[in-house]
Chains A and B, each alone.
Chain A
């Protein structure tokens, strides 16, 4: 039985906008993790692109119970809203002593949407240790316009996170984030179950907005990342400001007056008046 979803607050959503992912450690109960490993061995049912969640995952199914866990449901609703569609789901298995890592990539094809994003859920039913080759994620890369594995040349970037986590951890990622499955140097098979969600409503103020004007929101959005070059770090923040304006419904939101300054075109406004 679903319970009330635990919506994110504004600072958490701002962190997602800046970092491109949200991590929920150990939110899935141990018995579900054990069940998942058994279910994964049997394979996943086919889900056509764009299937609503209730149809893709029947009530009582493992995937349905996973996305209805209060912490997961609240975070998903805060980011993609109610009634998302399942784009696709897939099981990623990294075999023991596997010879190679995935190249650093963004999923799917280059995506130009300025006012929407998909969310990818990654679920780890078992503990992931350092040598198991957990997912590599580069925080803050999701707004870069790159296509799929064109970023494969970059092996390591400062500030990258090499996932280690307790069993039952869920990550929610912006579809554009640079990531890859690392080489599994352990003797243990590693499982990761992924679901991609498409929003069906405008992604505007879907979270608990009580703290919308809190200083923490600005602090999160103004963050810089150690992989980012000096000049483009400012552009990253500018692009985040533009996304936050969409998500918050506040067309005047700014950091350091950057967007306001370059939007200021008195002559153009006079000519169209």
Chain B
């Protein structure tokens, strides 16, 4: 089903070195609502930006950042998911495809 509104969302997820938005990118993922690109696991070795702020400077809009959650008592030394996750969006005309 195609919605009449042709504006589509592209999503960029950056995993940063610390909880600061201007820290270094450690991991990344992309999702393309236009359907014109197919980002997937293990498709690139270099991140699209060096820092979170660099993504802002390129026009991406931040819409979610990870909360700082204290470790559960007894689990302070456990490592699990990447902690500093930042979600960005870019709205593009679906008819024009990915920019």
Contacts and interface: CB of A to CB of B under 8 A. Distances in A.
Classify the interface of chain A: helix, strand, loop or mixed.
loop
B42 interface: yes
B22 interface: no
A229 B41 CA distance: 20
Contacts of A144: 79-81
Given A101-B41, A162-B45, A183-B40, A229 B82 contact: yes
A231 B18 contact: yes
Contacts of A226: 26
A194 to B, nearest CB: 18
Interface string A241-272: 00000000000000000000000000000000
A160 B44 CA distance: 9
B79 A235 contact: yes
Nearest to A229: B17
A239 B34 CA distance: 43
A128 interface: no
B13 interface: yes
Contacts, number: 97
Interface residues of B, number: 29
Nearest to B18: A230
A100 B40 contact: yes
Nearest to B76: A235
A192 interface: no
B41 A155 contact: yes
Nearest to B30: A155
Contacts of B43: 101, 155-156, 182-183
Contact of A151 (B18, B25, B40, B81): B81
Interface residues of A, number: 36
Given A101-B40, A230-B17, A158 B79 contact: no
A226 B23 CA distance: 13
B84 to A, nearest CB: 6
Contacts of A239: 77, 79
B47 interface: yes
A92 interface: no
B77 A238 contact: yes
B28 interface: yes
A103 interface: yes
Given A182-B42, A230-B18, A157 B26 contact: yes
A238 B76 CA distance: 12
A262 to B, nearest CB: 8
B85 to A, nearest CB: 8
A158 B47 contact: yes
A146 B83 CA distance: 13
Contacts of B17: 229-230
Contact of A136 (B28, B41, B78): B41
A103 B31 CA distance: 14
A236 B40 CA distance: 27
Given A160-B45, A230-B17, A155 B40 contact: yes
**Which 3 A-B pairs give the minimum distances between C-beta atoms?**
A136-B42, A155-B29, A157-B27
Given A154-B41, A157-B15, A227-B15, 12 more contacts: A146-B81, A151-B81, A152-B41, A154-B15, A155-B29, A155-B30, A155-B41, A183-B43, A229-B17, A229-B18, A229-B83, A235-B77
14 contacts: A144-B81, A146-B81, A154-B27, A156-B41, A158-B27, A182-B43, A183-B40, A227-B27, A229-B16, A229-B84, A235-B78, A236-B79, A238-B77, A239-B79
